[in-house]
Structure 1
């Protein structure tokens, strides 16, 4: 089966968040299973990878005809195609987003006309318009419903030359995600629990009615993890490597993490690697932090995001230099050190479609403390591999951390490390979804 994935990012070429990890892991697993996956991406100017010029493709745009150069590369048995629709497009999610991703979808659709592929698998709103243009069956995956690709009808008509029909319009504006939801043969999202949650007003982000109307073709398939890359037994970023049978070495990782940070080596240490946004709930952590520190705890945080949260955690690090360390950056080596060196991992998300960090933490023997939502509820077994709490509040976070500290964290660590979060399991579920899409 020849499957073309379309997305805004994919490891190892470009990564901003979890979407990039998914588009790095799932196609690799599909290639191992005998499928022929190709990943289509925009060719961002900041991409420095070696690639070959495959050719050009013409597509209609803004009342005329545009041309995009198409580049190719291969990684881990997966083919990649890069569409150069705008030489000034530096990287993902750069304004004007809607115009650029519409151009990507239009160029991709034109290229697909010459491909003998079986199915298009589009991911999030950035590739949503390609679903409507596809002549072959398409699967559409929602990674985060909060971002839907919304623009004014006049702007859509100017860019595409088409008047938006009712299937694209939502509350008076063009909604590219809505269009893909209705046009796709099958729709998936990244955890079974999130697939249920998005049918409700609390999590449906205004599209719950549309999702309810297509619930018969909606399925939740849990994301996987690249277990070759995320492996504490081979991780080159860890100062001491370990596995489930040699967890004592994890203590050495903890000591090696705390020493250069100047944090108190005698205190229980909680880590977090996250985007600092309202969704992730770290405004609640900021409120809870003084009391958390008073209970005898270190806190190590790696993340960027909202200015107020960055400033708040930076102030906490200045106020408590022996208790709090904060990295306002993306730093891959330190992310691995936090996963390996912490004794607990905090994820107080208000909503979380799937989440990969809790899976990584469990693989590294670091029990997660997380809110019971989305994929967190699907992956963490309360009291067995970590601790779940319900209320999005500082009080609930404090109570959950205290509950964890009263447990046998070594047993939680061993249980978490025994769970299989590999993509190989998920590849079979996607194959079933593809077969359903192809059979009509």
Structure 2
């Protein structure tokens, strides 16, 4: 049995800001059938502490990067959970990374360096009998954990894996904080934690880890190029075969239209007529009327997600006969652009600013197509949910979107394998053409149901992904 410690800044259902939480929450169950016992380590945010309650204290730090801290033992589902209870770092109002006004916490470097140092020490056996064979660090928030292992004063036997969920978020901080990390002086350098004169948390993990994974095979190739590597493409390329892509999965216990309690009505690929009740619920929730396919957006409203291009095409989407139900938040200018479009097209465009997990399920179960025009997308989960729910994905051909959606071109339609619509380049012309193709396909009801059914038959559960992570672990451990 391999004993793995998975360290991250969030995990579903305790704390979630994006797909990272879904992956970290699902990984322990995905690995268990393959002989891997996973313990998850999370920061002691208020919601996490409320979940573990009067948990047992298994370790204490009198000085963990300048603060007192305790390690609490609990469970997440049926799997072990460790919580770093450091009130000076994590007991505060606001989100995991920013205050209530959206401003990054100025001590994020200390908060997540402390999490990483604790992870490295726990992996090496600081908590008594809880020694681990392998440490799995997720994104920049856990990026220093492999570096703390690498620069430990005595030889380290614990292997490490660093997973990139989005290379655009790198955790770069002023070089002046290096002296407070407890790392040896020689850790400051290209072969260490220095990154363009600053402290680079993600860079440190990518340099120090024994293996690097991304959350889709295509993204693993893309980030070797300047257009996608965000300055880290040289380091990624230098790691060679140690960089691999393992596609994210989805949890069928949570995302299954046949059993989902958040839908107005359950359905399967063999009972798609029952799906209509969810469509009516979406129409009512967003004030939509008339006919035509309902496109949905469940997304952060950012440049990365291509929402600026979509916002410029909303009048045309309506003119083509489409409707839109949008759920998301992000850039203020984009939020206003979507609100303004809803005001121009009452009954055709409905907008809800914010995030609502139950509503996201209803949108997948009731909308006809989900728009994902991302400029880059490490994996993406909303297209996987769309496939499972018969909500046809309309996606840019990049990253995990390219790996998971089969374009409804003539050959794929004739072969009966198409699952969505892909387009090249996030430009107005490309997205306009994809929307027009989707509307035309929707009007061919037999073809549309064929596309829905094929997508719902696709298997993107964590079973396959868990097996690949387990195989990687075993290869590292010899």
With the shorter chain as reference, the TM-score category is over 0.9
Counterpart residue number, 1:426: 465
- In the TM superposition, residue 161 of structure 1 has moved relative to its aligned partner by 5.9
Deviation of 1:280 (Å): 0.4
Q: C-alpha distance in 1, partners of 2:210/2:419?
A: 36
Q: CA deviation at 1:223?
A: 0.4
Q: What does residue 216 of structure 1 align with?
A: 241
Change (3 A) 1:45 1:256: closer
| Structure 1 match to 2:277 | 252
1:284 matches 2:309:
yes
Q: What SS does the corresponding residue of 2:163 show, helix, strand or coil?
A: strand
* Unmatched segments (≥5 aa) in structure 1: none
State the alpha-carbon separation in 2 of the partners of residues 179 and 60 from structure 1. Answer: 23
Alpha-carbon distance, 1:87 to partner? 4.6
Match of 1:190 among 215, 219, 228: 215
Quote the offset at 1:10 in angstroms: 0.4
Q: Does 1:56 align with 2:59?
A: yes
TM-score (norm 2): 0.88
Of stretches 27-36 and 147-156 in structure 1, the one that deviates more from structure 2 is 27-36
User: Secondary structure at the residue paired with 1:182?
Assistant: helix
Q: Pick from 122, 134, 145: which aligns with 1:119?
A: 134
What is the TM-score of this pair, normalised by structure 1? Answer: 0.96
Matches within 5 A, 1:319-358: 319-358=344-383
Paired residue for 1:406, among 440, 443, 454?
440
Q: Secondary structure at the match of 1:203?
A: helix
Is 1:59–1:106's contact at 8 Å kept on the other side of the alignment?
Answer: no
Q: Could you say which residue in structure 2 is the equivalent of 1:80?
A: 81
Output aligned runs, 1:247-396, within 5 Å. Answer: 247-383=272-408, 384-396=418-430
Residue equivalent to 2:102 = none
SS, match of residue 370 in structure 1: strand
> CA 1:401/1:152 → structure 2, altered by over 3 Å: closer, same or farther?
same
Note if 1:233 corresponds to 2:258.
yes
Task: Quote how far apart the aligned CAs of 1:436 are.
Answer: 1.7
Q: Which moved more, 1:257-266 or 1:426-435?
A: 257-266
- 8 Å contact kept, 1:258–1:264: yes
Q: Is the 8 A contact 1:141 1:189 kept in 2?
A: yes
Please tell me whether the aligned partners of residues 56 and 67 of structure 1 are also in contact (alpha carbons under 8 angstroms).
no
SS in structure 2 at match of 1:235: coil
CA distance in 1, matches of 2:78, 2:402: 33
Name the structure 2 match of 1:21: 22
The Cα shift of 1:173 comes to 1.4
How far is 1:60 from its partner?
5.1
Indicate if the aligned counterparts of 2:27 and 2:466 stay in contact, CA closer than 8 A: yes
SS at match of 1:58: strand
Aligned pair 1:165/2:189, yes or no?
yes
In structure 2, the CA distance between the partners of 1:73 and 1:105, relative to structure 1 (3 Å rule), is same
Q: Cα deviations across residues 301-353 of structure 1 (Å, max 9, x unaligned)?
A: 10011111111111212221211111111111211111011111100000000
Q: Which moved more, 1:179-188 or 1:86-95?
A: 86-95
Encode CA deviations 1:344-363: one digit per residue, 9 max, x unaligned. 11000000000000000010
- Do the aligned partners of residues 234 and 197 (structure 1) sit closer, same or farther apart at CA in structure 2, a change above 3 Å counting? same
Q: 2:414 is matched with which residue?
A: none
1:101 and 2:94 equivalent? Answer: no
Shift, 1:40, TM fit? 0.5
**Partner residue of 1:415?**
454
Whether 1:156 aligns to 2:178 is: yes
Task: Sort the Cα spacing of 1:59 and 1:219 in 2 relative to 1 into closer, same or farther, 3 A.
Answer: farther
Match of 2:70 in 1: 69
Change in Cα spacing, 1:261 to 1:216, as seen in structure 2 (3 Å) is closer
In structure 1, what is the Cα distance between the partners aligned to 2:62 and 2:200?
Answer: 22
How many residue pairs get aligned? The number is 437
Would the alpha carbon gap of residues 402 and 438 (structure 1) be closer, same or farther in structure 2, given more than 3 Å must change?
same
Q: Secondary structure at 2:312's aligned position in 1? A: helix
1:255-292 CA distances to partner (integer Å, 9 max, x unpaired)?
22202432114222101101111100011110011111
1:195-250, Cα deviation, whole Å (9 max, x unpaired)? 00000010010011111100221100000101110000011111111001111111
Q: Which residue of 1 aligns with 2:477?
A: 438
Task: Tell me how far 1:59 sits from its aligned partner.
Answer: 6.7
- Helix, strand or coil at the partner of 1:345: strand
Deviation at 1:53, TM superposition (A): 3.0
Contact in 2 for aligned 1:26/1:224 (Cα 8 Å)? no
Q: Determine if contact 1:143/1:353 at 8 Å carries over to the other structure.
A: yes
Of the structure 1 ranges 379-388 and 84-93, higher mean CA displacement relative to structure 2 is found in 84-93
RMSD: 1.6
Q: Residues 75-122 of structure 1: CA distance to partner in whole angstroms, max 9, x if unpaired?
A: 332111110222534442131321210111122223333232110010
